[in-house]
Amino acid sequence: MKDMDAQVGRLDELLSRQDIYDCIKRVSRAIDRFDEDLFASGFHEDAVIDAGAFVEVPRKVYAGGAELHEEGQVATLHHLTNHTCEIDGDSAHAETYFFYVGRNREGGNWMAGGRYADRLERRAGVWRIAFRCTLLEWSGLVPETQVPLFVDVPDMGVNGVASRSREDPTYARPLLNRRAVQFPDAPRDLSTPRS
């Protein structure tokens, strides 16, 4: 019986870890897709987010972030990498590294790296962020280049195009291929980025 209790305890911890990481990933996806409800679902309503000039409740920080990204970038990607999590009952502390890349409206790509320090709480059985502190480590600009594999492809948008809305192909259910099967004659010709 002792072994069974230990296994149940480990299973609860593993499920909590997955729920916590899913919560953190959901927030990053929501920022890039401009999905306010998805963003808010990662935070308790009384949560506080510290993100540079913003120190506020989730929906207010979302509105400010959406405004600044809409003004400055045509696309953004928040990549999550290393992730650690310490769970103590119904509270947890997580550290998640991020890379941010934004395609600027005025040209070039803005890149930054840092970490999210999150305190999460499980309330009514659901893990959400109660406090987030964004720790910026570095930032810089990278010039634009074209990826030849995606240039001059007439039916490129048939399966959908990246969108900062629920029109993004990742929301489609089921996700299906609508493009004709094709393959370039000389893939090696597509190996060098173009400026």
The reply to whether 132 and 180 lie within a common domain is no
The reply to whether 138 and 100 lie within a common domain is yes
Residue closest to 118 by CA, chosen among 131, 106, 108, 127: 131
Share of the chain above pLDDT 70, in %: 99
Residues 157-190: tens digit of each pLDDT? 999 999 999 999 999 999 999 999 999 999 988 8
CB-based contact 116:96 (threshold 8 Å)? yes
Q: How confident is the model at residue 3 (pLDDT cuts 50, 70, 90)?
A: confident
Q: Does the pLDDT value for residue 79 go beyond 90? A: yes
- Based on the structure, what is the number of domains in the chain? 2
The reply to whether 86 and 120 lie within a common domain is yes
- Find the domain containing 158 and state its range: 145-195
Last residue of a domain, one of 103, 126, 142: 142
Strands 91-104, 73-88: parallel, antiparallel or unpaired by DSSP?
A: antiparallel
Q: Does the pLDDT value for residue 195 go beyond 80? A: no
Strands 126-142, 43-51: parallel, antiparallel or unpaired by DSSP?
A: parallel
pLDDT at 7: 87
Last residue of a domain, one of 126, 142, 158: 142
Number of H helices, E strands in the chain: 3, 6
The reply to whether 117 and 29 lie within a common domain is yes
CA–CA dist 123, 31 (Å, integer): 24
The reply to whether 162 and 138 lie within a common domain is no
Average pLDDT, the chain: 95
Model confidence, pTM: 0.90
The reply to whether 6 and 84 lie within a common domain is yes
The reply to whether 29 and 85 lie within a common domain is yes
The reply to whether 21 and 110 lie within a common domain is yes
The reply to whether 26 and 101 lie within a common domain is yes
Q: How confident is the model at residue 75 (pLDDT cuts 50, 70, 90)?
A: very high
pLDDT greater at residue 150 or residue 56: 56
CB-based contact 86:109 (threshold 8 Å)? no
**Which neighbouring-strand residues pair with 116?**
96, 134
